[in-house]
Structure formats: C-alpha cells, structure tokens
Chains A and B, each alone.
Chain A
Amino acid sequence: MTRSLEVNRLSKRYTLGASQRDQMLRERLIGFLKKPFRRKSAQESIWALRDVSFTAEVGEVIGIIGRNGAGKSTLLKILSRVTYPTSGSARANGRVASLLEVGTGFHDELTGRENIYLNGSILGMKRREIEQRFDAIVDFSGVEQFIDTPIKRYSSGMRLRLGFAVAAHLEPDVLIVDEVLAVGDAGFQKKCLNAMEGLRNSGRTVLFVSHNLAAVENLCSRGIWIDGGQLRMDAPAKEVIAAYMGSFAGERAPGSNLSASGDRLGTGEIRYTRLEYLNPDGSPYAMTRSGDGLIMRLHFHAKASIRDPSFGFQLYSSMGTLITEVGHWLHGMHIPKVEPGDGYLDVEIDSLNLVPGSYAVSLWITGAGGKPVYDGDVRAALEVEAADVYRSGRLLSSRYGLVYFPQRWKYAKA
C-alpha cells in the first residue's frame, strides 16, 4: 500500500496569555524602555500536542476521538497547514483538503451561485473544476430554487447543505473533516455519510473527527484516540471506541478529584470524601450526556456527631456562572443527627438538562441556617457529552447556551 500521510513526533506548544499581553505595541515599547536588555521571560505555556506519530495508507478512513480539549482540533489544524507545529513534521502525499467548518468564507451578500464559486476556490478547487461540478453541487445541496438568492436569506440548514455540497465535490487525496456531521437533519447526514463512503471507495484517505461515536464506528476502519495531547491508542475503530468508552467508567467518579482538604473552607468536623456518579439504575456510569439520568452520590466522613447538618452544592459553568444551587433543606428533608463515621447522600437527577461541556460542582456542608461551615468550596468536575435530546438527529452543542429545557413544538395555521 502507498502511504498518503506521515505524521512524525508532532508537537505544538501554545504560550498562555501571549495573544493578549503582546497585543499592544505600547506594552512592548514600555517594556523595552524599562529593561532594554531583558531577555524574553519564560512564559507559561501548554503543550496542546506532544509527540504524536502515525501514518495513514491510501484509502484508509481514520476516526479521531478524544475529549474536548484533548488536542484533536490542533492536530487537524496542523495537518491542514492552518497552523504550524512547534516541532515534528506532518507530510501528505497529494492534495489535502480540509473541512474544519462547513461553508468557510461564505459571504452573506452573495448568491448561492456566487458562493459556490467563492467557497470552492477557497477550498482549493480550480475554476474549471467548479464549473464542471456545478450542477452536481447544486443537485446535492437541494437549494436549486434559491441558487440566485443572496444566502443571507437562507435558513441555517440551507447554508449548511450548500457548504457541504461544495466540500463533497472536492476530490482531494487526503480529506480532513472536523465534526461536520453533528449538524443537519437525518436525511442530510445520511447523504454526507454516503459521500464519505464514496471517497473511501475511490481510494481517498479521510481523517474524521467526531463526537458521534456511532458514525465513527460505521465509517472508519481505524481509530486514533488523542488524550491530553498525546496519542493514547491507535487500533481498529471498534477497539478504540470500546477503550475510550471504558475510560469514562474506569474513572471512578471525580471522587478522587475532590479538591484537597487544604484548599477547602470549613472547620472539618465533617467532610466530603468522594463524589460518585452512577447511572439511574445504580450501575457505575460510563459517561453522561445531555438529558440522561444521573445519580450523584455524595460520600462524607464525620469525625464527631453532628446535629442538624445541611448538605448541598452549587453547579457552575466552565466560565464560572452559577447555574443552580440546591440542598437537601430545600426538599423539606431533615437529618437530625449524623453519627461519627462514613455515610452518603444520593441526589437523583431524572434528566440532566445541561448542554454538552465541562461543569464544576462545588459541595458544601454547614450547620442549620448556614453556620458553622463544616466543609465548603469542595470542587469536582462534571463532563457532559453531546446527545440528540430532541430526537431529531441533531446534536445539542454548547452554542445553545447552558441548559436545555424539554419542550415540544406544534405548528398551526391561524
């Protein structure tokens, strides 16, 4: 077989804060005036990717999976030559086309027809190629009637279809696709999957990032799991997905990740020891998706006998916005006394109405009426994965706010 992609010890380091601090020329000038001979100080940096190596053969379809922030997008950006690696190399044989976003470069004021030319050209098609495939693109998109209408009048679904239609008619040797199937209706998704099948059958190499594990499993022969910037596993897709799912279960709840008692508030007569997440039936949980049921088991340990304790927690978004605060007191529950030793409370959640993302839980135990604080500011993490909560084939994403609320829509003529 012929090699179409060769990735060798790829690393990428980002300097934290650099994009803001260095932005003003003034800062630089003042810095220079103050200390003209100062060397550049060692700034804080993170490795988004570290020593990632793999190769791809012609005709392989590889699914890249991993959690949010694991480095998947950075990898794709480097492979698409949008950004450059700090060290290591990535080489592709033949034409590479990347689809990090559908409809990149679409301009609202231009018509569908004009945008096909513009977008095609941005994606690397020659004018002649676009002309040849124009009818097929329009056909695929299904927006024929509106092809001479400015796309600012298009619905978001129509724009998406048009964007994917152009991309589907690229004929690159290596195609890089980032999470484009997460959107669009079921029929259209099927069309996209078929288009990607077609690419595979015609001997193209496809790299495909998705949170939709089912799609990865269907489409990809091989899976690559990126975790914390490193390549964790490279094996047949089924095996990688199984291992990836297993990693959520193996993580015995972020109980081990409760903030250290030194970082906590409170007197400490009674403290939380572990936060365990369980499936509604009490089995150890693999991962939580929007709309799933969940049991939060709050384990605690009391050193002394505590009268009238009050248990509760706050839930924060990753940006630090308080989403909700609850406690057992709000439920009219009364726990007269906790004896020394271990115990737990179960918080049963029927439906976790959160959009996908990372959340922070902050646990507390106080006396009745909030005083004294026994244990406070106990941090734990909660990861929520994307799900098709409206059963429409469309995944909920973090773009839709912080929470989702169950609802139904009906249409009627007045």
Chain B
Amino acid sequence: MQDLWDFRELVYFLAWRDIKVRYKQTAFGLLWAVMQPLFTMAIFTIFFARMAKIPTDGIPGPIFYFSALVPWIYFSTTVSNAGMSLVSNSTLLTKIYFPRIILPAAAALGTVVDFFVSSLLLIGIMVYYGVPVGSSLLLWGLLLVLLMLLALGLGTFFAALNVRYRDVKYALPFFIQLLLFVTPIIYPTSLVPERYRWLLSFNPLGALIESFRRVAARESLDWHALGISVLITVTVLIASVVYFRSTEKAMADLV
C-alpha cells in the first residue's frame, strides 16, 4: 500500500496515456464515450420497452436504460481492460520495477472519464424528463466508488490469472456477456419472481446497477440488497489483491 502511494503519479500517467491513446486520431474523440450508451439506450428503448413490452418500473425508458448502461459500460470496459493490462503491458513488466497492481488500477482510472462524460448526458436526459437532479449527484458519485472497487477487484483477479493462463483472454468476453443477462440492465429487478430474487443477491453488480437506476429515477434505494453487494465487493477485492500479491513475484518470468 505504501508502495502504491509512492507510485501514485505513475497510476495517473498510465491512466492519462490510456485516455490520450484511446481518442487519438479519432474524429469524434470523447463523444464516443456518450455515443455507445446513447445508441444502445435507443435500441433498448425501441426493442425491449416498446416492442417486447418489458416493464421499466414506470421509469421513462431512456432514463431506465441509460442509467443502467452508464455504470454497465464502465464496469465491463474496466474489467476487460484491467484483466488484459498485465499481458498487454508485458514490455513494461519485464523491464521496469513498479508495484504491478498499478496496471489494473490505472485501467480502472482511465475509463472513469468516459463515465463522467456519459453521466453529464444522463443529467441532460433527467432534466428533459423533469426529474430533479440535486442531491442525486452525491449518491451517484458514492455508487461510482463502489462500482470502481468491484471492477478493480475482478479486474485485478483476471489480470493475475491471465499472466499464467491465457485462457482468460477467451473466457473474459464470454463472462462479461453472460453477466449482462444476469444483471438487471435490460429488465428491472421486479421482473424476477419474488422467491428467486435472493439468487440475484449473489451478483453484487445487480444491486449496484439497480441502485444507480433508482438514484437517477429519484426512487428510494434497497439498502438491504446494496449492503450485501458491498459485503461481496469488499470480499472480492481483498481476495483478489491477496491472490495478486501471491503471484506478483513470478509475473515477470511468466508473462
């Protein structure tokens, strides 16, 4: 941890590199950060809400989908970027010393800019639908911290695993795709029958995304579900960091 603090500037520089590189030589630049959730939201609203008539808990479709897509896109991008971060920076790993955990940490930080930009658009949508913004912003930021910790936890675990087993490269996109369906993004939690709902609580992302959505819709949070999610998140994070530390020494020889 002390090490991490000493090297905090490197986290910042690597995150800054990721952001710079991502939007270099693109015509739209940072606009890409909003286009992805925006178009996905439009498609979801048309196909799922209008045509398939999947309920949205009385929340306007655009807010319902967009408020879940913003954290989801952050989460999925971060987990996959962080998961690949050690292998894709193998030249750094074999040439220079720094605490290895900096690489997944920088990946989690590098994607947060996109989250902020698309959050701005969400505020626009809320204003359009006449939802007061105000104190929601504070909760929104708090939830982001939780989301970052969860993404960092999983990303760190996959990153360390990937150094030894390249299977991760194939398993990770698949894992993320499945996660999209078992997380209430396309559908609300209320769609799941009451007696099966406890199963959902094993997915810490579920309660988190549902909370993001409720914050955007100015509805009260399910603190119980969120509490379980926080507990799992902290456990995942600690376990991942412990695993990461245990493999750290051999990384440069294996990667």
Binding site for B on A (CB under 8 A): 14, 19, 22-26, 77, 80-84, 96, 98, 100-101, 104-105, 107, 109-110, 114, 117-118, 121-124, 126-127, 150
- Whether the Cβ atoms of A110 and B94 lie closer than 8 Å is no
Q: How many of B's residues come within 8 Å of A, CB to CB?
A: 26
Among A82, A109, A110, A127, which residue has its beta carbon within 8 angstroms of that of B95?
A82
Among A82, A96, A110, which residue has its beta carbon within 8 angstroms of that of B21?
A110
- Whether the Cβ atoms of A123 and B164 lie closer than 8 Å is no
Does chain A have a CB within 8 A of B39? no
- Whether the Cβ atoms of B91 and A104 lie closer than 8 Å is yes
Among the interface residues A83, A126, A127, which one has the most CB atoms of the partner chain B within 10 A? A83
- Whether the Cβ atoms of B252 and A109 lie closer than 8 Å is no
The DSSP consensus for interface residues of chain A is loop
Does chain A have a CB within 8 A of B194? no
A-facing mask of B164-205, CB < 8 A → 1, else 0? 111100000000000000000000000000000000000000
Chain A residues positioned under 8 Å from B95 (CB to CB)? 82, 98, 100-101, 104
Q: Which stretch of B9-17, B48-56, B133-141 is in the interface? A: B9-17
Chain A residues positioned under 8 Å from B128 (CB to CB)? none
- Give me 15 A-to-B residue pairs in the complex whose CB atoms sit less than 8 angstroms apart, sorted by A's number: A19-B254, A77-B94, A82-B95, A82-B97, A104-B92, A104-B96, A105-B96, A109-B25, A110-B17, A114-B20, A118-B13, A122-B13, A122-B92, A122-B96, A122-B98
- Whether the Cβ atoms of A107 and B164 lie closer than 8 Å is no
Among A26, A98, A107, A127, which residue has its beta carbon within 8 angstroms of that of B97?
A98
Chain A residues positioned under 8 Å from B10 (CB to CB)? 121-122
Nearest CB in chain B to that of A22: its residue: B164
Chain B residues positioned under 8 Å from A121 (CB to CB)? 9-10, 13
Known: A19-B253, A23-B165, A23-B166. A127 touches B96 (CB 8 A): no
Does chain A have a CB within 8 A of B249? yes
Our count of residue pairs bridging A and B at CB distance below 8 angstroms stands at 72
- Tell me the smallest distance from the CB of A154 to a CB of chain B, in Å: 16
- Whether the Cβ atoms of B165 and A24 lie closer than 8 Å is yes
Nearest CB in chain B to that of A12: its residue: B253
Nearest CB in chain A to that of B6: its residue: A124
- Whether the Cβ atoms of B96 and A98 lie closer than 8 Å is yes
Question: Considering the complex, which residues of chain B in the window 152-171 have a beta carbon less than 8 Å from any beta carbon of chain A?
Answer: 164-167
CA distance A104 to B14 in the complex (A): 13
- Whether the Cβ atoms of B164 and A82 lie closer than 8 Å is no
Does chain A have a CB within 8 A of B224? no
CA distance A386 to B175 in the complex (A): 50
- Whether the Cβ atoms of B21 and A107 lie closer than 8 Å is yes
Among B25, B94, B164, which residue has its beta carbon within 8 angstroms of that of A23?
B164
Chain B residues positioned under 8 Å from A14 (CB to CB)? 253
CA distance A82 to B97 in the complex (A): 5
CA distance A396 to B14 in the complex (A): 34
A-facing mask of B12-37, CB < 8 A → 1, else 0? 01100100110011000000000000
- A105-B96, A114-B20 provided; 15 other pairs, C-beta below 8 A? A14-B253, A23-B166, A77-B94, A80-B96, A82-B252, A98-B96, A101-B91, A104-B96, A109-B21, A110-B24, A114-B17, A118-B13, A121-B13, A123-B96, A127-B9
Among A25, A77, A98, A105, which residue has its beta carbon within 8 angstroms of that of B92?
A105
CA distance A126 to B14 in the complex (A): 14
Chain B residues positioned under 8 Å from A122 (CB to CB)? 10, 13, 92, 96, 98
- Tell me the smallest distance from the CB of A92 to a CB of chain B, in Å: 11
CA distance A295 to B91 in the complex (A): 41
CA distance A114 to B16 in the complex (A): 10
Nearest CB in chain B to that of A108: its residue: B21
Chain A residues positioned under 8 Å from B91 (CB to CB)? 101, 104-105
Closest 3 CB pairs of A and B: A81-B97, A121-B13, A25-B165
CA distance A117 to B253 in the complex (A): 28
Nearest CB in chain B to that of A123: its residue: B96
- Whether the Cβ atoms of A118 and B17 lie closer than 8 Å is yes
Nearest CB in chain B to that of A100: its residue: B95
Chain B residues positioned under 8 Å from A82 (CB to CB)? 93-97, 252
- Tell me the smallest distance from the CB of A146 to a CB of chain B, in Å: 16
Chain B residues positioned under 8 Å from A98 (CB to CB)? 95-97
CA distance A122 to B164 in the complex (A): 24
- Whether the Cβ atoms of B97 and A80 lie closer than 8 Å is yes
Chain B residues positioned under 8 Å from A114 (CB to CB)? 17, 20
Chain A residues positioned under 8 Å from B167 (CB to CB)? 24-26
- Tell me the smallest distance from the CB of B13 to a CB of chain A, in Å: 4
Nearest CB in chain A to that of B167: its residue: A25
Chain A residues positioned under 8 Å from B250 (CB to CB)? 84
CA distance A111 to B103 in the complex (A): 22
